[in-house]
Chain A
Amino acid sequence: MPAPIADRIAAEVKDNPVMLYMKGTPDQPMCGFSATVVQVLKSMNVPFKGTNVLDDPELRQGIKDFSNWPTIPQLYIKGEFIGGCDIVREMHASGELKKLLQDKKILNVA
């Protein structure tokens, strides 16, 4: 029997320093909000894993329950829930996202 969905998510956000739950894939986002977050991460050359929730109805609901967040995309950095498209966009514009990624040793300090 597969692990309950919350255990799967907990393991995935632990194993992947930058983990994005999205609609579609990083190369083919299926939603504008997911595409925006992918674009931000790619523009910063951040390695990340993107999991397509559309492939898995259990995950699509499970990630909403896990994060207490009703929408997709959802970004995790080092296991910490960062937010969705609005928050990623604001943090990118203000430079906070870059600083966070540097503080977490995911990006090198330029």
Chain B
Amino acid sequence: MQALSVAARIREKITAAFSPCTIQLEDQSPKHAGHAGAKPGGETHFHLEIVSPAFAGLSRVERQRRVHAALKDELEGPVHALSLSLKMPEEAA
């Protein structure tokens, strides 16, 4: 069995943790080629947008902390940079 890509693992973990209405993940690694943390295979720099009711009542900092916690292994491992946009459904409308 082939190991899941980093992107696939991120999607899987976010889906499990936040039951998002929408999840958009963009591998921006090519834009960072040659920068610190970039690797030839990519999958080091991601932009992740999540719309989920699970963010209700949470500050911006708390929302990001929840995502960081869900993706702890990735952030400590292959992922060098992760920019986030975290919204509730009514905020995304």
Question: B31: nearest residue on chain A (CB-CB)?
Answer: A32
What's the Cα separation between A90 and B49 when bound, in Å? 13
What's the Cα separation between A91 and B85 when bound, in Å? 12
Question: In the complex, are the beta carbons of B84 and A81 less than 8 A apart?
Answer: no
B22 at the interface (CB under 8 A from A): no
What's the Cα separation between A90 and B85 when bound, in Å? 9
Partner of A31, one of B36, B65, B76: B36
Partner of B64, one of A30, A83, A91: A83
B68 at the interface (CB under 8 A from A): yes
> A5 CB to closest chain B CB, in angstroms?
19
Binding site for B on A (CB under 8 A): 23, 30-33, 68-71, 81-87, 90-91
